[in-house]
Structure 1
Amino acid sequence: MTDARALRAYAHPTRMRLVGLLRAQGPRTATQAADLINESVASCSYHLRMLAKYGLVETAAGGRGREKPWRATARLTQWPTHSPEPAVAEAAEAVELAAVERYSELLSAAIETRRSLSRDWQEAGGISDVLLYLTAGELSAIQQQIDALLRPFEARETRPDSRPPGARLVQVIRAGFPVPRVTASGPAGQRRGQPGRRAGPPTWQRQGMEQCRPHRRRTAAGRAWATPQERSRQRRTRQQRARQQ
């Protein structure tokens, strides 16, 4: 995906959740999706239409209106990590920041529910990191090797009969990046006069969020840029309210 407008449209937490839901669970209507991600039907319907506008989802057979099912058009979304076009580079950065926020939510949820799993699954999963001195070529080679390691298991997504007993859906989150050089004034590239300050979303993204009525209140409260702990509390609150309704 290299169109700046499409990237900006995708750089939204609810839209990422919807695309992820359709990829993991197959076609769903706006009503079904709303129940699964704790959003309103109107909000899901709006965001699904926006995703369809840029080819990220499409209508599936059957149903009509809000009861028509939607499906993802691809099993993954790729975007450039480098572009000579400033608009594309900025939009791609916004997508990655939104993706990191989503990954943080998923990891927090996995940790919070881990004790409900069997011992073998608790020990199989985990989070780790390592610091290595690498060249850019070596980092690219490692990424390719990881792709090759995972590729044999990808066919199981569309071939349930190839899944061995006990197999379940697992998410593998991968990241590799140069550690920012730290100077006396802070990490390289940090704005002067704002030590340690976390940058908010780009101006165009703030404006787009403000124009999106279903998310105006939540965005104004900083939901998309909350810390993992704040998001965890917000998620528990939404779940409690849903149970009370």
Structure 2
Amino acid sequence: MPEEHNVRKLDARSLRGLAHPLRMELLNALRRNGPATASMLAERLGESSGATSYHLRQLAAHGFVEDAPEHGKGRERWWRAVDSGIAMDENLYQSPDPAVRGAADLLLHELVNQHTRELSSWLSTRDRWFPRWTDHSMDLSDFTLRLTPERSRELIGKVHELLNSYQAHEAAEDDPDAEQVRLHTHVFPIATDPEELR
């Protein structure tokens, strides 16, 4: 698979450090919206600042976030995400350690929940994007292909390669026509035999 820009490869320790719904939300918020304080994140996520402070410190202990002192004034502590994304070694899904397998399972379920929340949020605010963002610049599609595991890996690699090529030529921060655009990709096998679905 092609090398991805600024992506953190999880090991068993960092996986267990990240596999918590609020930590994943905090990290996602810092990646999408830039540096923030625990209080700002608490207000944005509907949490207490005590909870966000604690989980930010845990994320820092595992190297996911770090101080952003250039944003601080006085005693304010600002945080920023260290990486732009994560990748998980396939061996973690099949670890002999049940705690690691449980953390991998929680992480995957929370990622799916995160994607669902993002889509729901877009659906509830989609009117504000028209007419500039029309059907030609937004997409909700699904495809079903018949592939071997090897061809699936090849497809994923090519999709990632294409996305990385766009990431290398992102619009400037001050471009008034540009917005952050989220892309979700899910490639997984499905059962087609009715007996397998029971």
Q: TM-score range by the shorter chain?
A: 0.7 to 0.9
Residue in structure 1 matched with residue 95 of structure 2 by the alignment: 85
Q: Deviations over 1:101-160 (max 9, x none)?
A: 111111111111112211341412232211110011111111111112111221356x72
Matched, 1:73 2:82: yes
Could you give the per-residue CA deviations for residues 187-236 of structure 1, whole angstroms, max 9, x where no partner exists? 4xxxxxxx7xxxxxxxxxxxxxxxxxxxxxxxxxxxxxxxxxxxxxxxxx
Moved more, 74-83 or 103-112: 74-83
Q: Which has the higher contact order (CA 8 A, sep 6+)?
A: 2
Distance 1:50 1:64, change over 3 A: farther
Structure 1 residues 120 and 100, CA gap change in structure 2 (3 angstroms) = same
Stretches of structure 2 lacking an aligned partner (at least 5 in a row): 1-8
- Higher helix proportion (structure 1 or 2): 1
Structure 1 gaps, min length 5? 188-194, 196-245
Aligned counterpart for 2:177 among listed residues 166, 186, 189: 166
Distance 1:16 1:66 in 2: 25
The aligned counterpart of 1:241 is none
Amino acid at match of 2:96: P
Which of 129, 133, 149 is the equivalent residue of 1:136?
149
Q: State whether structure 2 residue 158 is matched by structure 1 residue 148.
A: no
Paired with 2:141 and 2:21, the residues of 1 have a C-alpha distance of: 25
RMSD, aligned α-carbons: 2.5
Quote how far apart the aligned CAs of 1:60 are. Answer: 1.6
Letter in 1 for 2:108: E
Residue 81 (structure 1) shift: 3.2
CA distance in 2, matches of 1:42, 1:174: 34
Higher strand share: 2
CA distance in 1 between partners of 2:67 and 2:115 (Å) = 26
Identity %: 34
Provide closer, same or farther for how the CA distance between residues 181 and 65 of structure 1 changes in structure 2, counting only shifts above 3 A: farther
C-alpha contact (below 8 Å) 1:30/1:66 kept by paired residues? no
Which of 23, 27, 30 in structure 2 is aligned with 1:22?
Answer: 30
Count of aligned positions: 185
- Which amino acid is the alignment partner of residue 24 of structure 1? R
Query: How many angstroms apart in 2 are the aligned matches of 1:135 and 1:92?
Result: 24
Maintained 8 Å contact 1:8/1:94? no
Tell me if 1:34 matches 2:42: yes
2:56, 2:143 → 1: CA distance? 38
Return the alpha-carbon distance in structure 1 between the equivalents of residues 106 and 193 of structure 2: 23
